[in-house]
Amino acid sequence: MPLIQFRRGSTAEWTAANPTLADGEPGYALPDGPLKIGNGITPWADLPESASDSATRTGAFQFDHAGALSPLGAATFTARQGFALPFDGLEFRVHYRNRNFLGEVDAVGTIDAFKAYVGEAVMGPDGPTGAFVAPPVQILAPTTLVDGVEKVTPWITPATFALTKNKRYLLSTGFTMPSAETPIALGGGGHFVSYDGDRAAQQAANAVFTPNQSFFDTWIEYRFVDDNAPTILVVSNSLSGPGNVVAATNRGDLDAWQHQWAFANGGVAASIAVGGSWAANYPASSAKWTHYDTAATPMVYDAIVLMGLLSSDVAGGAGDAAAIEVAKGSYGVVVNKARSLYPNARIIGTTSPPRQASSGDQETARLSVNAWLSSSPYQIEQCYDIDMFLRNGGTPQRLKPEYDSGDGDHWTPRAHGAVASGVPVRSRTR
């Protein structure tokens, strides 16, 4: 039998060389360890010890997807968004794209002086205040963002900036719109934005929080070690976007049910949910299904959660029987596409919650569709009854008052938390 030896050396030799081990390559410090396993990116000094017991995995923090393109005006802007991870990140990078995710249309035009910083957020009673605890760290030098082409920052290792479990951070993006006609991708979620100069690196808060608005289609890719962390992919509409509120104070993306679920369960919640979408916006040919294909290693999901996916279809169809049948067919397309892409993942549907305009034929249609969904159509593994959580007992065609953000349709942070608590995906050890 051939002799297999790990790459090895004294602690001093490892420290002096500080090599980057190949993905899966073991290295051992003589005489008593530690043992470290490479990932092809992180140098020896920043690799976690005893990683041989756990595999390095890919996670995503998804900011609210963009659902429109609109000119912003010729000026220099700064936007800051709050985020956090339920793990200690080994390294991370940020993906930006100037693209209408809903319509799958790239913005045409160049955005100049595009740069990014990250730092720990100063926290207030309602979440991040928009200020940094210390001067932020630059993670992307000034560059251009062109014609919807994805821009990805370099990998940021803990030696440059470390992401600590459950700590709140701000991603600060600065850019210049050279023309008043150049379109920018607009989403929800919420951010701190200034319209009067380059403040991306400024430690102090740059503006007040603006709910239901964000720029670009943005997500954070990170690596972590936790074999038991559950992972989900969310397919949904504005019900999975916390920025769609009228009267409720919110913390932007951090209040979305999927992020609340991720922190409660130590999990990863990737999402292709976008405001304004119907089930028909996710055909088998949709580019939304390939959104995370630019990750360095493929995302692996334990469950695909179709959160309130038919809610807009039912509301928009005004109870029309033919439209409802079309919506059911579109739902089947989504289920079959998810199953073909992720054959080892559970498909979890949900009922449709009440909406302000739901009455008469429309409410009858909603209840009929919910009964159909509860039968687990297309052999989905489970239907989670969010209607039961959210409806008002006295007027079941309405949301509970404490769950109504103010427009009768969208949810308060408390409602997002209630929904998150019932999502039937937990740690892989349970």
Would you give the DSSP letter of residue 358?
A: -
User: Residue 258's closest CA among 417, 404, 94?
Assistant: 417
pTM for the structure as a whole? 0.88
**Residues 302 and 343 sit within 8 Å (Cβ to Cβ):** no
Asked if CATH classification 3.40.50.1110 holds for the domain at 228-430, the reply, yes or no, is yes
pLDDT, residue 4, reads 60
Distance between CA atoms of residues 39 and 297, nearest Å = 11
pLDDT, residue 423, reads 95
The ranges assigned to domains in the chain are: 1-6+17-53, 65-218, 228-430
**Residues 77 and 174 sit within 8 Å (Cβ to Cβ):** yes
List the chain residues with pLDDT less than 70. Answer: 1-5, 31-32, 50-54, 243-250, 317-319, 357-359, 428-430
pLDDT, residue 162, reads 93
User: DSSP letters of 97-139?
Assistant: E-EETTTTEEPPSEEEEEEEEEEEEEEETTEEEEEESSPPEEE
pLDDT, residue 193, reads 87
Count the neighbouring beta carbons within 10 Å of the beta carbon of residue 204.
10
pLDDT, residue 1, reads 43
Where are the extended beta strands (E) located within 292-411? 303-306, 346-350, 382-384
Distance between CA atoms of residues 427 and 263, nearest Å = 11
